[in-house]
């Protein structure tokens, strides 16, 4: 019956030349800003200087945390938390992709918790309060700029967990597609695979109730990525392509596509183990896993959804037998990910063997079977990992 | 370059059996509630009793304003404003369709203004503050449940104006499709025409920049209405149909479809004069005007958009000449509105002659030409009214 609650409070400034609003937006939360970013790309593309200019103009006091990792670590969260406490930070400004934003969200919450930030991720301690977070997005991928989730890794324990809490929702996000012009072909491909996976994994291929209109929008998001990711790879400064990918990333996981039922994400659960054990790029892990997972779960009970996918997204001839359409749809997706986007198609190619599959499968299923069309047991998960070799 | 700001803070409870959250949501704003509604339909369908039960359970003090008109009047706003001031109301709860919600939004703002509420509508006085507004929607049509607009009529001056202000955004809206089961075939048709018009008039057929992904969503909203409105008319208790129409109404005008450029609404400007002079149902006025307006503005400079509409929405053969596709698209829309939805197709049929066309055209263009693909002068507007006879 589509029983759901929708709310998304993030204010989005979309497009170039919106940074003039940065100062006024941050100021409403206070004077002391912690600027967070990753490896320094934002300096290379000139964004750091632009941001600093705006912060200076607004007469804000700026502190910095740089070096946030892809697959950001709880130890980095702790570091940021210490700065926030010591410097009495009023507001956080994350400039980067999903990793930087996720890490910053956790810092915002960890500032009000005295123990190890990992306790918040593992629900040992509840999120009770959080500093306001604003973001400037530099990669179309995770949707973190417009949702209340964050994924953090603990490399000591080989764990990577997600946390969802309304207090983690960014207050204001600046989405300027030109800030993604310098994103490499590889990272563009990984980000695109991530966007697709949110739609497939969380919304489109599971038992959750889908409202017809919203299911069409899911297909729009998928088709947007399929159309524009190859263009962005070929023409990195194609504004149309970068803009469509960026807005698709936000809408793939900002709540709108959920119209009932539970929240499933079996591929994400499986991928988090890959990243936790091997620190591989999230989107690449998802790309390798997704078509295998689809092959594994496809059966007579869910073929109609795969058929719909094949016809509506890839334009496969609806007169073919259902199972053939479904298989063609999955191979079309593989072709897109591994040929059109040029991503590596197996775990072996990225240097991962079957050594840890058993323990990874065990950890992926720590909360019980992974729900979805076909509930996945540890044995299922291990089999899917093997299909990726 | 798609420069836009998107924010929509309304919390939506979608689906049946969500009313148990009503008390907790209202309570966060205070104890004294003004319940507003229209002609009493909410009593007939049992919703009034359910709402009162919840308010009682939450120990709230309830005042009432009933009898809000379709095309709600500023005098009713003043009446509501007086109750809010006298009874020290903390929060407003609008139970009804767009008219009730719009009127309630204006009451919320007028409570902080001592003069005539019409001054707020005409921008003689600014909106400075507003009471929080929550809504329970009973008609899929205007989108007011999830946006910051309100349209109010002054029958003394034959004027009907819209006001948009962030303070008018509902805090919480309850969208239960089963509350629209009793909506008549006629009102379902008018509401559906209203939803369509928001997409056509404001977003799809104008010079505003359209992001590809979002334009596909516009077409989804249109196709949702075309698919489900006739089903809802034939089977008033078809949940799928009512749910899709309801969510379509919210998303047609909640900000998501706007990705740049200006906000145009020429058909709405023309319709507001029809309603102001003749108090006709908004959706019916829009239905009669829209295909004529399309015929009037169609030319070589914009035929590609009409062609896209014809192919993507009505599946018209893309191999036909562009102008033929465009004309077929417009006649398909007329067929939908006047045959499938059964709406009257001319102004004459609803008892309107050309007596006031000149003055209506003059008033519609009070702010200058109506912008859009083809800027419309007073003469153009009068011609379009005549095409509707």
Q: What is the pLDDT of residues B199-213, one digit of tens each?
A: 999 999 988 889 999
Q: CATH number for the domain including A154?
A: 3.40.50.1970
Nearest CA-CA distance, residue B214 and chain A, Å:
8
Verify that B216 and B263 share a domain, yes or no: yes
Mean local confidence (pLDDT), B72-90: 98
Verify that B225 and B109 share a domain, yes or no: no
- Distance from the first to the final alpha carbon of chain B: 40
Chain A residues with CB-CB distance to B16 below 8 A: 1, 3
| Count of domains observed in chain A | 2
Report CA dihedral (A42, A45, A48, A53) to the nearest 10 degrees.
Answer: -160
- Give a three-class secondary structure readout of chain B: CCCEEEEEEEEEEECCCCHHHHHHHHHCCCCEEEEECCCCHHHHCCHHHHHHHHHHHCCCEEEEECCCCCCCEHHHHHHHHHHHHHHCCCEEEEEECHHHHHHHHHHHHHCCCCCCCHHHHCCCCCCCCCCCEEEEECCCCCCHHHCCEEEEEECCCCEEEEEECHHHCCCEEEECHHHHCCCCHHHHHHHHHHHHHHHHHHHHCCCCCCCHHHHHHHHHHHHHHHHHHHHHHHCCCCHHHHHHHHHHHHHHCCCCCCCCCCCCCHHHHHHHHHHHHHCCCHHHHHHHHHHHHHHHHCCCCCHHHHHHHHHHHHCCCCCCCHHHHHHHHHHHHHHHHHHHCCCCCCCHHHCCCHHHHHHHHHHHCCCCCECCCCCECHHHHHHHHHHCC
User: So what's the pLDDT on residue A54?
Assistant: 98
Using an 8 Å CB-CB cutoff, list residues of chain A that contact chain B: 1-18, 177, 211-214, 216-217, 220-221, 223-224, 227-228, 239-240, 243-244, 247-248, 251, 256, 259-260
Report yes or no on B197 lying in a domain: yes
Chain A residues with CB-CB distance to B12 below 8 A: 5-7
Say whether pLDDT at B112 is over 90. yes
Question: Which residues, at least 6 apart from B189, have a Cβ–Cβ distance to it below 8 Å?
Answer: B229, B233, B283, B287, B337, B341, B342, B343
Verify that B174 and B201 share a domain, yes or no: no
Using an 8 Å CB-CB cutoff, list residues of chain B that contact chain A: 1-18, 177, 211-214, 216-217, 220-221, 223-224, 227-228, 239-240, 243-244, 247-248, 251, 256, 259-260
Query: Could you tell me the CA-to-CA distances from B370 to A389, B154, B204 in Å, in that order?
Result: 62, 21, 16
Verify that A115 and A191 share a domain, yes or no: no
Residue B261 confidence class, pLDDT cut points 50, 70, 90: low
Token pair for residue B201?
A: 């008039």
Are B212 and A221 in contact (CB < 8 Å)?
Answer: no
A-chain residue closest to B246, CA distance:
A213
Report yes or no on A2 lying in a domain: no
Report yes or no on B4 lying in a domain: no
Mean local confidence (pLDDT), A150-174: 95
Verify that A252 and A221 share a domain, yes or no: yes
Chain A residues with CB-CB distance to B258 below 8 A: none
Token pair for residue B180?
A: 């629209």
A-chain residue closest to B252, CA distance:
A213
Nearest-by-Cβ selection for B3 from A8, A17, A220: A17
Nearest-by-Cβ selection for A14 from B3, B14, B224: B3
Q: CATH number for the domain including A353?
A: 1.20.1090.10
Q: Which SS3 state, helix, strand or coil, does residue A38 take?
A: coil
Last residue of a domain, one of A163, A179, A195: A179
Q: What is the pLDDT of residues A5-41, one digit of tens each?
A: 999 999 999 999 899 999 999 999 999 999 999 998 9
DSSP conformational letter for A320: S
User: So what's the pLDDT on residue B378?
Assistant: 97
Verify that B198 and B267 share a domain, yes or no: yes
Provide the mean pLDDT of chain A.
96
Distance, C-alpha A334 to centroid of its chain: 20
- Tell me which residue of A165, A150, A148 sits closest to A72, measured CA to CA: A150
Residue A264, strand partner residues: none
Nearest CA-CA distance, residue A136 and chain B, Å:
14
- Give the C-alpha separation, B332 to B335, whole Å: 5
Q: What is the pLDDT of residues A343-373, one digit of tens each?
A: 999 999 999 999 999 999 999 999 899 988 8
Place of tokens 């990711």: A229
Report yes or no on A5 lying in a domain: no
Say whether pLDDT at A259 is over 90. no
Verify that B342 and B207 share a domain, yes or no: yes
Say whether pLDDT at A158 is over 90. no
Percentage of residues of chain B with pLDDT beyond 70: 99
B-chain residue closest to A7, CA distance:
B11
Say whether pLDDT at A311 is over 80. yes
Are A9 and B6 in contact (CB < 8 Å)?
Answer: no
Mean local confidence (pLDDT), B82-93: 98
Chain B residues with CB-CB distance to A214 below 8 A: 247
Verify that B191 and B168 share a domain, yes or no: no
**How many A-B residue pairs are in contact by the CB < 8 A criterion?**
106
Last residue of a domain, one of B133, B159, B179: B179
Report yes or no on B82 lying in a domain: yes
Chain A residues with CB-CB distance to B148 below 8 A: none
Nearest CA-CA distance, residue A357 and chain B, Å:
38
Report yes or no on B5 lying in a domain: no
Residue A379 confidence class, pLDDT cut points 50, 70, 90: very high
Report yes or no on A1 lying in a domain: no
ipTM of the assembly? 0.95
Nearest-by-Cβ selection for A13 from B5, B221, B256: B5
Last residue of a domain, one of B147, B163, B179: B179
Q: What is the pLDDT of residues A223-258, one digit of tens each?
A: 999 999 999 999 999 999 999 999 999 999 999 999
Provide the mean pLDDT of chain B.
96
Say whether pLDDT at A261 is over 70. no
Verify that B157 and B242 share a domain, yes or no: no
Verify that A155 and A287 share a domain, yes or no: no
Verify that B214 and B69 share a domain, yes or no: no
Q: Domain containing A371: what range?
A: 183-387
Are B7 and A6 in contact (CB < 8 Å)?
Answer: no
Distance, C-alpha B225 to centroid of its chain: 14
Chain A residues with CB-CB distance to B224 below 8 A: 212-213, 216
Q: What is the pLDDT of residues B238-259, one digit of tens each?
A: 999 999 999 999 999 999 999 8
Verify that B95 and B162 share a domain, yes or no: yes
Report yes or no on A52 lying in a domain: yes
Q: Which helix (H) or strand (E) holds A289?
A: helix A282-297
DSSP calls for A188-235: HHHHHHHHHHIIIIIIISSSS---HHHHHHHHHHHHHHHHHHHHHHHS
Residue A2 confidence class, pLDDT cut points 50, 70, 90: confident
Q: What is the pLDDT of residues B281-306, one digit of tens each?
A: 999 999 999 999 999 999 999 999 99
DSSP calls for A330-366: HHHHHIIIIIIS-----TGGGT--GGGHHHHHHHHTT
């Amino acid at each position: 019956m589509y029983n759901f609650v929708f709310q998304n409070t993030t204010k989005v400034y979309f497009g170039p030349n919106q940074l003039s609003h940065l100062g006024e937006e941050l100021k409403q939360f206070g004077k002391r800003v912690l600027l967070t970013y990753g490896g320094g790309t934002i300096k290379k593309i000139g964004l750091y200087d632009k941001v600093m200019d705006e912060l200076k103009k607004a007469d804000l006091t700026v502190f910095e945390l740089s070096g946030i990792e892809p697959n950001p670590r709880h130890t980095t969260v702790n570091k940021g938390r210490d700065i926030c406490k010591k410097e009495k930070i009023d507001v956080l400004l994350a400039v980067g992709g999903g990793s930087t934003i996720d890490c910053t969200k956790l810092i915002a919450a960890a500032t009000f918790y005295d123990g190890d930030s990992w306790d918040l991720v593992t629900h040992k301690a509840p999120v009770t309060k959080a500093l306001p977070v604003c973001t400037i997005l530099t990669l179309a991928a995770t949707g973190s700029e417009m949702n209340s989730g964050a994924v953090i890794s603990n490399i000591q324990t080989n764990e990577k967990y997600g946390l969802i809490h309304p207090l983690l929702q960014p207050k204001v996000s600046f989405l300027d597609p030109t800030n993604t012009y310098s994103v490499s072909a590889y990272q563009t491909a990984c980000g695109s695979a991530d966007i697709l996976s949110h739609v497939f994994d969380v919304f489109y291929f599971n038992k959750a109730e889908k409202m017809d209109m919203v299911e069409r929008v899911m297909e729009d998001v998928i088709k947007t990525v399929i159309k524009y990711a190859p263009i962005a790879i070929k023409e990195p400064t194609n504004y149309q392509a970068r803009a469509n990918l960026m807005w698709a990333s936000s809408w793939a996981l900002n709540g709108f596509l959920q119209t009932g039922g539970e929240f499933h994400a079996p591929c994400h659960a499986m991928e988090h183990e890959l990243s936790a054990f091997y620190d591989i790029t999230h989107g690449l892990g998802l790309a390798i896993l997704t078509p295998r997972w689809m092959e594994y779960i496809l059966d007579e009970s869910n073929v109609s959804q795969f058929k719909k996918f094949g016809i509506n997204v890839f334009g496969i001839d609806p007169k073919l037998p259902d199972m053939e359409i479904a298989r063609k749809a999955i191979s079309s997706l593989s072709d897109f990910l591994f040929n059109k986007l040029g991503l590596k198609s197996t775990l072996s190619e990225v240097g991962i063997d079957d050594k840890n599959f058993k323990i990874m499968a065990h950890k992926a299923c720590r909360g019980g079977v992974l729900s979805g069309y076909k509930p996945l047991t540890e044995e299922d998960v291990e089999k899917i990992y093997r299909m990726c070799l």
